[in-house]
Chain A
Amino acid sequence: MTEYAPPIPETPEGDYSISIGPQHPTHKEPIRFIFQVKGETIEHVDLRIGFNHRGIEKAFEQRTWNQNLYLAARLCGICSAAHQFAYAQAAERCAKIYDEIPERAQYIRVIIQELERIQSHMLWYGVLAHDTGFDTMFHLTWRDREIVNDILEIISGNRVNYAMWTIGGVRRDISRDQITNIIPKLKDLRKKCDYHRDVMMSERSFIARQENVAILSTEDAKRFCAVGPTARASNVNCDVRKIDPYCAYNKIDFDVPLWDQGDIFGGLSLRLDETLISIDMAIQALENLPGNPGDIKIRVPRKIDPNEGIQRVEAPRGEDIHFVRSNGSEKPDRHKIRAPTFANLPSLVHRLKGCQVADIPPVIRVIDPCIGCCERTTFVDIKTGKSIDLSGEHLISRTNRAHRLGTRVLEF
């Protein structure tokens, strides 16, 4: 593999270079991290991304506006609705029909967005629990997450890629029956999420693993253009739903929680709060669904006159921005995607410096890339050239050992 790998930079005597990755399944950004460590402290971080680069932006230029909707959903399986949504709205702005979308469609858009946020946040804190060695919680949250997946399946027919949007509205309506079916489920889920919150907030060893680890100050969060929960945990109010409202978000009543610690624990508490708020928002939108059944989309011309459209939406991980340019034909001329994880990488690199090796999995987890990233960690001892394979579990046992010994420096 080494022939293809970027060169590991020279390290001074006594230092190690650690390469983590590339097995790291976020959509556009599977990452290979190269850490230089002194003892157990990270001194320098380099990253190589692009292992999942599939050339989607070019593919957008070869398909028609409507076909592209399905391409946009497959940018990421976890926030597929957010990407599809941003693309649809950017195209609507480009075609100048953004203000004509029926109100019912706008509310349905909010509902799907919030349901997606719930499932994504539950996924996140479940996996964080797994990364920090709290596997019971992982299984609990994933069991309860199935409730949201069921609801999404009732509405859209699929558990993961919902394909609910179309340019000019939504593709499926929500009927009375479905609403009466869904609301009790959401209330049940709210109780369960409350319980998750209680458990996580009172488990001392779990919290000790996260407090004061990898702190991102407000200043740095602003400097590195962090977005989403990562920035909000550092007290930057950057919730696109509030600061740049779109669809029906300005008609719905909700709070944006902010935390100022900026550590992993801040990120956790923030997402736990947001999950509860999102459940409330989904219930609120379902109860107040306006308009006549069936009035969910408008006709859109097949060709769009030369224009530009830009739209940002609040994906579960932060601001997701799509730009489209039309040239009068059936296909877009240019489509640019900036996914939230991409925007959070500079701040991640910054906050990794000075961390302990054992803290790598939760710190990478805090910006919410996806599952299984640190399952395969390879430590390369530069002096002997020998490599040791460390999985997430090994890393966890390492910290536990470090804590037991009362020291953070361990010999390899």
Chain B
Amino acid sequence: MMLNVPKSLDEVAKALNLTRRDPKIYPRDYYVNSSSDRMLEIAAKLKNEFGVHHVSTVIVRDDEDGFHLIYPFSVILDNSEWGKLIVDFLVDKKNPEVESLTPEFPGLVIAEREAYDMMGIRFKNHPDLRRLLTPDIMPSDIYPLRKDITAEEIRRRLAEEAEKRRLDLE
């Protein structure tokens, strides 16, 4: 299949039916808003039609209206520069569950694990959703980067937990 090499990120956004959110200051940063149920379709289209192979990471941001998930896709333009199509969508705080993009982009496997670990976003169809960075003794209800818990609180809980483990061993 012939890959489509876009001239600008506008062209990509138009093909995906997305509109630019930010004022046009930095040409290679293209923020768009979307919704969680469209992500699989967007990812598949970007991969198959525009030849996108690089997704840098998964950024999760805890805001009042819910969790914002941000995927920066690198789109190769026709002057061989890579633009960033930054897709931002909202996830419900009570039930943070989204489709995983790992089947499309295997490189995201640990980025999504990190998002799960730090913010508690559950990815459906993820091959291996375990905690990644936090200590083994981290209580399962704490997701450290959420705004509803402070660093001191986590610190205290972890110290308690570590003490308990040590007593158990003795």
Contacts and interface: CB of A to CB of B under 8 A. Distances in A.
Interface residues on A, range: 35 or more
Given A55-B144, A310-B72, A238 B110 contact: no
**Interface of chain B, main secondary structure:** mixed
B12 to A, nearest CB: 16
A59 B62 CA distance: 15
Interface string A225-242: 111000000000110000
Interface of B: 22, 25-26, 28-29, 31, 53-57, 59-62, 70, 72, 80-84, 86, 105-111, 114, 118, 132-137, 144-145, 151, 154, 165, 169
A4 interface: yes
5 closest cross-chain pairs (CB), A and B? A225-B107, A50-B133, A338-B57, A222-B53, A243-B82
Contacts of A259: none
A226 B134 contact: no
B145 to A, nearest CB: 6
Contact of A225 (B60, B105, B135): B105
B61 A58 contact: no
B65 to A, nearest CB: 13
Interface stretch (A167-175, A319-327, A387-395): A319-327
Nearest to A345: B110
Given A49-B132, A50-B132, A96-B25, A59 B72 contact: no
Given A53-B134, A321-B72, A93 B26 contact: yes
Contacts of A308: 22, 31
29 contacts: A3-B169, A28-B133, A50-B133, A50-B134, A53-B133, A57-B118, A58-B144, A58-B154, A96-B25, A223-B107, A225-B55, A227-B54, A243-B81, A244-B83, A310-B29, A310-B72, A310-B84, A310-B86, A319-B56, A321-B56, A321-B72, A323-B59, A336-B59, A338-B57, A342-B110, A343-B56, A343-B57, A343-B111, A346-B110
Nearest to B53: A222
A237 B80 CA distance: 10
